[in-house]
Amino acid sequence: MSEAATPFVTAAPGLLASLDPLLREWLPRQRWFAGKGRPVTGFSPIAATELLPAPGLPAPGLRPDPGDPREQGAAGPAARLGLYHLVVRVRQPLVPVPGAPEHPGDCYQLLIGVREVLPPRLAPALIGHVTQGPLAGYTVYDALYDPRPAEVLLEALRTRDRIGPLRFHRDRTQEIRSGLVPRPVTAEQSNSSVIYGDTFILKLLRRIVPGVNPDLELPLALAREGCPRVPPPTAWMAADLGGQPWVLAVLQPYVQGAADGWELALRELAKGEDFAAEARALGRATAEVHTALARALPVVTLGHSALDQLVGGMVGRLEEAVHAVPALRPYAPGLRSAFTALADLAAEGRTWTAQRVHGDLHLGQCLRAPDGEWSLIDFEGEPARPLAERRMPQPSVRDIAGMLRSFDYAAHSADAPVTGWSETCRAAYCTGYAEITGRDPRTDPVMLRAYETDKAVYEVVYEARHRPGWLPVPLSAVRRLAVADPTRSP
């Protein structure tokens, strides 16, 4: 493993050499690994921070602490644990062909547990058995699934600790009790989360980028506006690496007993019931969030050149998608017409208002508390897009299109289809949105079709990469959108 010029290493020297062969094998199998389909050719460390020294590791500064109860004989080797926080850049070729030029490399955050013996309950978190370097003979694993490391993170947030380059921040108006029992979130997600005592949820971002992260920025802005639709960040973990801030994790209040919109929608579909009342409430919740974001952050007007750029992005993503998923090819001209229709309106002088938006809104990002109130979560935007793009003001229709796609996803995932289910939800959602903002998204059919098309194209690529069995769902929408009449009501 070749090391970057100035990595921030406060862990055992050579630690990364121990992990290299295991990570090459383990990383590409993780759901959150974005570079699937291309081999990993190496790692460059950006930071390696020791949170708990590996017991007995013969390296300077890493002596076992005889006062540490984990070092007492009674605890035994299975209870002794080392803990390292790593930020690594993964080197991969641009295309999966030997000798192809290398991709600049995505950065990932890893929390590595080190034990002499891995207890059976942690078997699913196993990364591997180390055979080289300073950790030779140890077993390493994904430590977020282990309560003790998860407690270490919460304690650091609670006490606003600083460890090496890691900075733990807390909103002083919110209290964090000590001793909250952690449990990992096992549901499918793009990052990795831990719930503490049903009181807080910590999301550890996996693929990370330097700069202001909207997953922290937007909930903080909404909290300042007093918007009750988003759990306000309680604490967050960041790092200052090479003069740049990196957001690493965000702790928020846990909405107890909540069900997400996706599971609720599927439940109603299974009963053959409509979801119109909830869809309307979701439209209102989305509108409340948009209204608060427009108060808190800049709102701009998109003129001809900005719209040309927007359309250019959509067309470019379609071309990349056709390349990545050839099943899209027959629909490309029809899909492109959704984008050129928007370009035509721009050429006629039509303008749009743009503001900060959620950026990846779907039913799974909406939580309904037992009192019926909805919250929106996960303001990261589409993780594959560059940060600067995700933080740009955009037409609010983008989020609406995401939700309309989601009703369609639910309808197509039901075991027994319910006629008109998706259409009823879509109409109710737009009605709810208009009740708060006074603007019914259906009065903007060209922009709506363009964004729905862009989203369906994104979903085709997403599913091809992450869940190939789901590919028929967005492909069925692609077939419809490729021939859709934009004057038709969504």
Ligand X SMILES: O=P(O)(O)O[C@H]1O[C@H](CO)[C@@H](O[C@H]2O[C@H](CO)[C@@H](O)[C@H](O)[C@H]2O)[C@H](O)[C@H]1O
Ligand Y SMILES: Nc1ncnc2c1ncn2[C@@H]1O[C@H](COP(=O)(O)OP(=O)(O)O)[C@@H](O)[C@H]1O
What are the residues binding ligand X (CB under 6 A)? 188-190, 262, 360, 362-364, 378, 382, 405-406, 409, 459, 462
* Residue 108 binding ligand Y, by CB under 6 A: no
With CB under 5 to 8 Å by kind, the binding choice for 363 among ligand X, ligand Y, none is: ligand X
Select the span of 7-15, 181-189, 345-353, 396-404 touching ligand Y (CB under 6 A). Answer: 181-189
* Residue 176 binding ligand Y, by CB under 6 A: no
Q: Report residue 236 CA to chain centroid gap.
A: 15
> Which member of 143, 255, 265, 292 binds ligand Y (CB under 6 A)?
255
Rounded Cα distance, 209 and 245, in Å = 9
Q: How far is the CB of 410 from ligand X (least distance, A)?
A: 7
> Which member of 190, 286, 394, 453 binds ligand Y (CB under 6 A)?
190
With CB under 5 to 8 Å by kind, the binding choice for 255 among ligand X, ligand Y, none is: ligand Y
Structure-token match 């121990």, residue found:
18
Question: What residues between 193 and 212 interact with ligand Y by CB under 6 A?
Answer: 193, 201, 203
364 or 490, CB closer to ligand X?
Answer: 364
* Residue 450 binding ligand Y, by CB under 6 A: no
Q: Shortest CA distance to 455 belongs to which of 421, 476, 478? A: 478
Rounded Cα distance, 382 and 119, in Å = 36
Helix (H, G, I), strand (E, B) or coil at 90: strand
Rounded Cα distance, 327 and 331, in Å = 8
With CB under 5 to 8 Å by kind, the binding choice for 376 among ligand Y, ligand X, none is: none
Q: Which two tokens stand for residue 438?
A: 């006074």
19 or 367, CB closer to ligand Y?
Answer: 367
Q: What is the bridge-based pairing of β-strands 300-302 and 352-354?
A: antiparallel
8 or 429, CB closer to ligand X?
Answer: 429
DSSP 330-351: GGHHHHHHHHHHHHHHHHTT--
Select the span of 291-299, 363-371, 458-466, 475-483 touching ligand Y (CB under 6 A). Answer: 363-371
49 or 365, CB closer to ligand Y?
Answer: 365
Question: What residues between 367 and 396 interact with ligand Y by CB under 6 A?
Answer: 367, 377-378, 380
Do residues 312 and 302 lie in contact, with contact meaning Cβ atoms separated by under 8 Å?
no
Structure-token match 């006074």, residue found:
438
* Residue 252 binding ligand Y, by CB under 6 A: yes
Do residues 9 and 48 lie in contact, with contact meaning Cβ atoms separated by under 8 Å?
yes
Q: How far is the CB of 213 from ligand Y (least distance, A)?
A: 11
Which amino acid is located at 241 in the chain?
L
With CB under 5 to 8 Å by kind, the binding choice for 360 among ligand Y, ligand X, none is: ligand X
Secondary structure of the chain: what % helix, strand, coil (to 5)?
Answer: 45, 20, 35
285 or 354, CB closer to ligand Y?
Answer: 285
> Which member of 8, 138, 254, 339 binds ligand Y (CB under 6 A)?
254
Q: How far is the CB of 373 from ligand Y (least distance, A)?
A: 12
Do residues 292 and 227 lie in contact, with contact meaning Cβ atoms separated by under 8 Å?
yes
Do residues 355 and 294 lie in contact, with contact meaning Cβ atoms separated by under 8 Å?
yes
* Residue 185 binding ligand Y, by CB under 6 A: yes
With CB under 5 to 8 Å by kind, the binding choice for 399 among ligand Y, ligand X, none is: none
Q: Shortest CA distance to 386 belongs to which of 4, 5, 106, 96? A: 106
> Which member of 191, 213, 337, 422 binds ligand Y (CB under 6 A)?
191
Q: How far is the CB of 367 from ligand Y (least distance, A)?
A: 6
Do residues 375 and 267 lie in contact, with contact meaning Cβ atoms separated by under 8 Å?
no
Provide φ and ψ at 300, rounded to 5°: -130, 165
* Residue 231 binding ligand Y, by CB under 6 A: yes
Q: Shortest CA distance to 281 belongs to which of 411, 443, 398, 436? A: 436
> Which member of 88, 202, 258, 363 binds ligand Y (CB under 6 A)?
258
Q: How far is the CB of 99 from ligand Y (least distance, A)?
A: 35
Rounded Cα distance, 422 and 402, in Å = 13
Residues lying near ligand Y in the complex (CB under 6 A) = 185, 187, 189-191, 193, 201, 203, 231, 252, 254-255, 258, 260, 364-365, 367, 377-378, 380
